[in-house]
């Protein structure tokens, strides 16, 4: 009998809300979780309206 069992790997495609919540739901499961996304960041879409309304957020970054 093996002492150490390699955990199963779960690959979640997409780091949007569904992907992040799936990863969170699995955080206590005995699996290794990988989230794959074409972007290196999460786009918080509900905040887009707020960002567009805030003039100070539309300024280009200095430098
Ligand atoms: C402007 C705006 C405001 C919103 N406001 C609200 C709100 O207030 N409340 C609310 O409940 N909902 C809101 N929504 C809807 C909500 O954002 C979506 O229902 C939710 O994001 C869907 O989640 P998802 O994980 O299915 O898809 P997404 O969040 O779109 O995630 C999909 C992920 O998959 C990745 N992906 C796609 N194709 C590939 C590929 N080929 N290879 C690698 N990665 C890939 C994308 O980069 C993305 O990260 C809003 C939507 C928009 C556009």
pLDDT digits (tens, 9 = 90+) for 24-57: 999 999 999 999 999 999 999 988 888 888 877 6
Atom of ligand 1 lying closest to residue 42 CA? 49
Higher pLDDT, 28 or 60: 28
The domain total for the chain is 1
CA of 28 to the centre of ligand 1 (A): 25
Determine the Cα–Cα distance for residues 27 and 59; give it in Å rounded to an integer: 38
Q: Whose CA is nearest to atom 32 of ligand 1?
A: 16
Q: Is residue 1 part of a domain?
A: no
Nearest-angstrom CA–CA distance, 21 and 43: 14
In DSSP terms, 10 is beta-bridged to 33
Tell me whether residue 16 is in a domain. yes
| Residue 43 maps to a domain | yes
Query: Ligand 1, atom 17: nearest CA belongs to which residue?
Result: 45
Confidence of residue 63 (pLDDT cuts 50, 70, 90): low
Residue 38 Cβ contacting ligand 1 at under 6 Å: yes
Above 90 in pLDDT, residue 7? Answer: no
Domain-embedded: residue 63: no
């Amino acid at each position: 009998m093996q002492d150490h069992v390699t955990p199963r790997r779960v690959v979640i495609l997409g780091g949007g809300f569904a992907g992040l919540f799936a990863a969170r739901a699995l955080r206590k499961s005995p699996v290794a979780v990988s989230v794959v996304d074409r972007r290196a960041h999460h786009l918080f879409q509900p905040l887009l309206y707020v960002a567009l309304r805030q003039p100070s957020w539309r300024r280009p970054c200095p430098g």
